[in-house]
Structure 1
Amino acid sequence: MHLLGLAATAATYLLLPGATADPLPFERIQLHERDIASLGKASSLLSFGDAPVADPATSHRRAPPTGCKVFPGDKKWPADKAWSNFNNTLNGALIKTVPLAAPCYAGPNYDANRCSYVTANWANSSLHEMDPASVMTGLYQGHTCQIPSNPDDTCTLGGLPSYVVNATTVKQVQLAVNFARNADIRLIVRNTGHDFSGKSGGAGSLSIWTHNLNAIEYVPRFEDQKQGYSGPAFRGGSGVIGRDLFKAAGDKGLLVIGGEGQDVGILGGYLQNGGHSPMSSVYGLAADQVLSISLVTADGRFLTASSTENTDLFWALRGGGASTWGVVTSVTVRAHPSMPISTAQFIFTAKSSAAFWLGVRSYWERFIPYADAGTYSYFMIIPGAPAPTFIMLGFWAPNMTTTETTALLTPWLDDLSALDISVKPAYATYPTTYPALIATWPQEAVQDNAIIGSRLFPRSAWEAPNSETFNKTWEAWSTTNNLLISFNIRAPNALGVDNAVLPAWRETVLHTMQGSGFAPNADDATKRAVRQALTVSMANWKAATPGAGAYIGESDAEEVGWQESFFGKNYDRLLKIKNKYDRDGVFWAKQAVGSECMAVQSNGPIPDENGKLCRVK
């Protein structure tokens, strides 16, 4: 469905030096002062806000107008008539949220056929992607409307938004931002719902669904003299998902930098968080590729951030975190020549835990030469007895043949054989990047009853094999007893850009997550114990990697010292920019820049998004 729409709307044009990209078709429909003036009494909820402050260094964040954001049931919650009027100004784009699993519960939404379909596909991320409100981390929604074992159970919104704006124009985005700000309602921005920390939802909120802002245009020559770039580019809406942009680039003999998750939005939060990619060891992170960004800011106005316009915001948007700066509507990114890709995939275990970890250590010792060769590997270690299981989801080797990839892996595989560990790699070679992406990487999983933490392990730990630092790092990583999801990766600043990417990314050779779960019916004490155990294990990782950091896009929702972990030395500068463009905290997300002043009132063993958003006293 998406590909047909893209084929119908794709355009080709040339950008000359100093030119600014024309708005995408949906961006040409904008809100103007005259539109607001024509609304009469309704204009008070839809008017533009104050302009950004001139000097953020001398300004301070203004306190929220009330102690908490206005919540359903509060006296100030907009009346049904106000919501109806708002919907009219949106041309019917306002959706009153109905949980995805509601057809499985007794009541007005019950639908046996729909329930069967939802139940069969609940673990499929595409099901949640196409819903206007569903999130792929049900834990942070509060599990208030999951697939039921008893249809007479209750189904409530929990951490889902109260209303969703199905945005198809910039004007609708502007109206939604203005309405939420003027009504003092929590505002959420969501594309596909892929978020490990619950940022795609929030109780009592108005959500802007960007999924249908999905046009793509090809730019044969984009020239940005300040960034020193002259070459092909793609401009796409913030609702574009990975596989669609990969296909558009592949059709031109090009590649764009995106994640291995094909159904993840590629031009929204993924990019704003930094965005690692199978091509990162060659070209760096997704944030490094950006040439311009168009967005609606907290005052409701539409602007462009680039190397020559709103340059402070341009810097912050590229790595400074999502749900913070505004609603991105489109992004222009560099494109690179496609190249052949060689891959390997395999699984192994061992007869003993000792042999297994010796085999994994042989791999660990090769992280620097593998990453320096331009490869990227995505692997998992699943706890088990008598030994864990290692799954190489993809050893990705750009511009290599199968012979070259085999030669690179053989010394490690020989070590495994010497440990009596049997491995039978499946090798494949692809002439270009696009078919390799589609064939290699699995669909993103729906995360439910699990919590994760992550860390970027620095290259310095590997530079002296068998040193105290090396052994301490290995011990901290290999003794967690949790599920390990890891990436051997480099993320150099290969393009020489200046952005807000966490500096620790430039020094890493391992981005790794650990996860711990519990049964769906686990009691609060069990959940608290799991949470505490993960906190302790993460503390061990931090102690072994002082001064490193963590990737905010795949991280612990309860990260201790998140400002340092996610943003490092950039945090103070980012906070000043936040105070310039959003002093009132219109855009708020947990662990986002400037989020310290407010918190969700959650009383569960695992903090969720089910309560009011209130000022921290």
Structure 2
Amino acid sequence: MAPRSMIKGAFLGALALTAPVTAQLADQVSSDSQAGVPLFTSETLQLTDDALATVSENQSALFQFGNASSLSTRSVNGCKVYPGDFWWPSKLVWNLFDAFLGGALIKTVPLAASCYKSWPDEYNAATCSSITDDWTDSNLHAADAASVMWPLFEGRTCLPTTNASASCTVGGYSSYAVNVTNVAQIQLAVNFARNAGLRLVVKNTGHDFNGKSTGAGALGIWTHHLKNIDYIPNYKSSSYSGPAVKMGAGVQAHEIYEKANALGFTVVGGEGKTVGVAGGYVLGGGHSPLSSIYGLAADQVLAMEVVLPNGRFVTVTEQTYPDLFWAIRGGGGGTFGVVTSVISRVHPKVGVTVSTFSFSTGTDVSVETFWAGVRSYMERFDTHADAGTYAYFWILNTGEDSFLFLMNPFFAVNHTVAEYNALVQPWYDDLSNLGISISPSTTYYDNFYGAWMAGFPLETVASSTMMTGSRLFPRANWEDATLFNTTFDTLRSTVENGYALLAFNMKAELVDGYPDNAANPAFRNTLMHAISSTSWDADATPAEIKAKMDYFTNTVLGQWRATCPDAGAYMSESDIQEPNFQQAFYGSNYARLYKLKQLYDPTSLFYAPTGVGSENWVVNSADGLPDQNGRLCRA
């Protein structure tokens, strides 16, 4: 005979609605916080033991908090519960969950479903045309509860098309998502997923290059609408006294930068316009146009409000949870809990000089001359980064013996035009002596926001025919002449073999006096964050795609790794197949992070590809590619 707990679970769906549910299951609590700054209103609506006690045992069974005696969760042959399984929640249970959420549950409809007749309620040629036109716009995907910026890692199951009879499935997108507007909804989702054995993912904007916020059969927590911003002129903690800002998890770069400019301060955030600053970006470390001066975004964090894997809502500071305060700041999103807000230090208003220009091979510029001009630039990476600047540049193969260098832009924080010109003059002189002509467009802005808006374009996303990989090249590769020659020759070979080079000349040292965190130690020594990519035809088979990916991972990026084997890569803009990701993305921090993962998430509720502890799991993807379109199972 089946255990009573199994029988109770099997009949829960039938019993769940024996009493009506008329309001969200939550209590209004005090706004006091151990962070020393009041909770946002969205954070004062919480799931409590008292709230759970107001409904029947049957109704509350799947929403109880975790504790040491309730570590075992449902699974199917060691896998997370999946649609179609016996243990998959019934429609009645999903309805109950939605009622407890206050109507915030979204059943996933793929963003491009309007292009497919198999979705008759969605099929609409005009809508399909609009979606197709905007498909590469990051705003489109950020504003959807399930869509991610890189559909390759969802499984490419529902792309825009003109063939209305083609197949469109939910695929690797989460099956449901909670449109979060308060903490209670996150707690309910965390408890429900843990107790029911469901896969759980967290999505803010979906920017991560490896699809960490998507997963087949998952319940998604969508934090995009947690948009509150509070400026704190005088914040005090044990290690800091000064101005700070509290940001909800859904605040994006363009929003916080605009607010900071209006109030006269500067905040460390991303280069991309739609990146969620207080979401996975800061949790993964977060490099910034300000990093050469102030370090990473994770370095700025002074306190966080977090829902833990057991469903409890806590304030994480140096005093309250020192181990989590270290781990969450840089240890990766979707790993230790769901952050609802962060308090970060801010900095004075700064002026910035922005310059763009290009040069290329041609009648008067031979291939060797072109590369001599590039080399002259790269030789000065330490000087430029140490001056506090940040440069975003491309080197492209444009045909046989044809190459283009594009500076877009050189971002010189705290530099007037005259100071910027003095800094780059030695390089400009070399270019002139080489016969390389440039026509820089250089402008000074008296504030970061204006410079950032002018300097960086809106992100182009959603390609399903390419994958990227990256490397953090350390200062040591510049300090040793032989090693610099090897590094330069390797990068030149990459471009000459047809692979684009997108790179950032920057540094990201931990500022003296800032508390240590779990950000990749490789960041602290870097002078260049370099990215490349590989691509394939739209009709390529999975086997052909995998062959391209493997060659890129092992050969192209393998040559990069060989120049700095002890360095690493930025986890949020990386190769999903990175060998030994534990060392590459976390370095010497990994053992400590893994131990904390087991302590705070003993049931492995939170999984993200290449996240801490992810080696204990495997996704059996439908197409054999390293995507999230498949059941998540114990390795």
TM range (shorter): over 0.9
Which of 438, 443, 452 aligns to 1:423? It is 438
**Secondary structure of 2:615 counterpart:** helix
Matches within 5 A, 1:531-542: 531-535=549-553, 536-542=555-561
User: More displaced, 134-143 or 33-42?
Assistant: 33-42
Unaligned runs of 5+ in 1: 1-14, 54-60
Unaligned runs of 5+ in 2: 1-31
Q: Which residue of 2 aligns with 1:473?
A: 487
Are the aligned partners of 1:126 and 1:263 in contact in 2 as well (CA < 8 Å)? yes
Structure 1 position 149, deviation (Å): 2.6
Distance in 1 (alpha carbons) for counterparts of 2:338 and 2:425? 48
CA spacing shift, 1:167–1:414, aligned 2, 3 Å: same
Structure 1 position 343, deviation (Å): 1.1
Cα-to-partner distance string for 1:475-523 (whole Å, 9 max, x where unaligned): 2222113111110001111143211111111111011111111122122
Residue 293 of structure 1 pairs with residue 311 of structure 2: no
Residue 611 of structure 1 pairs with residue 617 of structure 2: no
Residue 20 of structure 1 pairs with residue 36 of structure 2: yes
Cα-to-partner distance string for 1:102-123 (whole Å, 9 max, x where unaligned): 1111122112222222111111
Matches within 5 A, 1:307-326: 307-326=318-337
**Secondary structure of 1:601 counterpart:** strand
Which of 565, 586, 590 aligns to 1:546? It is 565
Cα-to-partner distance string for 1:576-597 (whole Å, 9 max, x where unaligned): 1111110100000111111111
Distance in 2 (alpha carbons) for counterparts of 1:243 and 1:52? 45
Distance in 1 (alpha carbons) for counterparts of 2:586 and 2:594? 10
Are the aligned partners of 2:73 and 2:194 in contact in 1 as well (CA < 8 Å)? no
Distance in 2 (alpha carbons) for counterparts of 1:175 and 1:411? 60
Are the aligned partners of 1:65 and 1:184 in contact in 2 as well (CA < 8 Å)? yes
Q: Which residue of 2 aligns with 1:210?
A: 223
Structure 1 position 265, deviation (Å): 0.1
Structure 1 position 388, deviation (Å): 2.1
Which of 45, 54, 69 aligns to 2:80? It is 69
Q: How many residues align?
A: 590
Are the aligned partners of 1:64 and 1:615 in contact in 2 as well (CA < 8 Å)? no
Distance in 1 (alpha carbons) for counterparts of 2:67 and 2:374? 56
For 1:526, give the aligned amino acid.
E
Q: Which residue of 2 aligns with 1:9?
A: none
**Secondary structure of 1:144 counterpart:** coil
TM-score by length of 1: 0.93
User: More displaced, 467-476 or 329-338?
Assistant: 467-476
Q: Which residue of 2 aligns with 1:34?
A: 50
**Secondary structure of 1:240 counterpart:** coil
Q: Which residue of 2 aligns with 1:527?
A: 545
Cα-to-partner distance string for 1:162-202 (whole Å, 9 max, x where unaligned): 00100000000000101111110100000111110011210
**Secondary structure of 2:325 counterpart:** helix
TM-score by length of 2: 0.90
For 1:405, give the aligned amino acid.
Y
Q: Which residue of 2 aligns with 1:6?
A: none
Distance in 2 (alpha carbons) for counterparts of 1:46 and 1:422? 67
Are the aligned partners of 2:269 and 2:288 in contact in 1 as well (CA < 8 Å)? yes
Residue 408 of structure 1 pairs with residue 423 of structure 2: yes
Q: Which residue of 1 aligns with 2:378?
A: 364
Residue 555 of structure 1 pairs with residue 574 of structure 2: yes
Q: Which residue of 2 aligns with 1:5?
A: none
Which of 45, 66, 69 aligns to 1:49? It is 66
**Secondary structure of 2:46 counterpart:** coil
Q: Which residue of 2 aligns with 1:3?
A: none
User: More displaced, 549-558 or 380-389?
Assistant: 380-389
Q: Which residue of 1 aligns with 2:594?
A: 575
Which of 521, 529, 532 aligns to 1:503? It is 521
Distance in 2 (alpha carbons) for counterparts of 1:495 and 1:437? 26
For 1:411, give the aligned amino acid.
P
Are the aligned partners of 2:622 and 2:629 in contact in 1 as well (CA < 8 Å)? no
For 1:27, give the aligned amino acid.
E
Which of 585, 589, 597 aligns to 1:566? It is 585
Q: Which residue of 2 aligns with 1:594?
A: 613
CA spacing shift, 1:405–1:325, aligned 2, 3 Å: same
Which of 130, 137, 145 aligns to 2:158? It is 145
Are the aligned partners of 1:371 and 1:509 in contact in 2 as well (CA < 8 Å)? yes
Q: Which residue of 1 aligns with 2:294?
A: 283
CA spacing shift, 1:401–1:51, aligned 2, 3 Å: farther
Cα-to-partner distance string for 1:60-90 (whole Å, 9 max, x where unaligned): x989844100000111100011001100001
Are the aligned partners of 2:618 and 2:633 in contact in 1 as well (CA < 8 Å)? yes
Distance in 2 (alpha carbons) for counterparts of 1:275 and 1:261? 11
**Secondary structure of 1:553 counterpart:** helix
Distance in 2 (alpha carbons) for counterparts of 1:493 and 1:579? 27
Q: Which residue of 2 aligns with 1:377?
A: 391
**Secondary structure of 1:270 counterpart:** helix
Matches within 5 A, 1:80-159: 80-106=91-117, 107-159=120-172
Structure 1 position 531, deviation (Å): 1.0
Structure 1 position 605, deviation (Å): 5.1
Are the aligned partners of 1:64 and 1:584 in contact in 2 as well (CA < 8 Å)? no
Are the aligned partners of 2:75 and 2:81 in contact in 1 as well (CA < 8 Å)? no
Are the aligned partners of 2:35 and 2:303 in contact in 1 as well (CA < 8 Å)? no
Structure 1 position 244, deviation (Å): 0.8
Structure 1 position 431, deviation (Å): 0.8
For 2:157, give the aligned amino acid.
T
Cα-to-partner distance string for 1:261-307 (whole Å, 9 max, x where unaligned): 12110001100110000000000000000010111010111001101
Are the aligned partners of 2:199 and 2:605 in contact in 1 as well (CA < 8 Å)? yes
The one of the two structures with greater contact order (alpha-carbon pairs below 8 A, sep at least 6) is 1
Distance in 1 (alpha carbons) for counterparts of 2:233 and 2:225? 25
Are the aligned partners of 1:341 and 1:396 in contact in 2 as well (CA < 8 Å)? yes
**Secondary structure of 1:208 counterpart:** strand
Distance in 2 (alpha carbons) for counterparts of 1:364 and 1:347? 15
Q: Which residue of 2 aligns with 1:340?
A: 351
Q: Which residue of 2 aligns with 1:484?
A: 501
Structure 1 position 324, deviation (Å): 0.1
Distance in 1 (alpha carbons) for counterparts of 2:195 and 2:60? 10
Structure 1 position 52, deviation (Å): 11
User: More displaced, 147-156 or 231-240?
Assistant: 147-156
Distance in 2 (alpha carbons) for counterparts of 1:123 and 1:528? 23
What is the root-mean-square deviation of aligned Cα atoms in Å? 1.8
Structure 1 position 347, deviation (Å): 2.1
Which of 603, 623, 634 aligns to 1:584? It is 603
User: More displaced, 288-297 or 102-111?
Assistant: 102-111
CA spacing shift, 1:51–1:262, aligned 2, 3 Å: farther
Cα-to-partner distance string for 1:514-557 (whole Å, 9 max, x where unaligned): 11111221223431231122121111111110211111111111
Distance in 2 (alpha carbons) for counterparts of 1:32 and 1:42? 15
Structure 1 position 336, deviation (Å): 0.4
Residue 512 of structure 1 pairs with residue 530 of structure 2: yes
Are the aligned partners of 2:351 and 2:447 in contact in 1 as well (CA < 8 Å)? yes
Are the aligned partners of 1:356 and 1:387 in contact in 2 as well (CA < 8 Å)? no
Distance in 1 (alpha carbons) for counterparts of 2:199 and 2:278? 23
Which of 72, 90, 93 aligns to 1:79? It is 90
Q: Which residue of 1 aligns with 2:339?
A: 328
Q: Which residue of 2 aligns with 1:254?
A: 265
For 2:518, give the aligned amino acid.
A
Distance in 2 (alpha carbons) for counterparts of 1:366 and 1:447? 34
User: More displaced, 600-609 or 209-218?
Assistant: 600-609
Are the aligned partners of 1:64 and 1:585 in contact in 2 as well (CA < 8 Å)? no
Distance in 2 (alpha carbons) for counterparts of 1:327 and 1:19? 17
Distance in 2 (alpha carbons) for counterparts of 1:77 and 1:85? 14
Percent identity, aligned pairs only, is: 47
Matches within 5 A, 1:162-181: 162-181=175-194
Distance in 1 (alpha carbons) for counterparts of 2:431 and 2:542? 42
Structure 1 position 599, deviation (Å): 1.0
User: More displaced, 361-370 or 398-407?
Assistant: 398-407
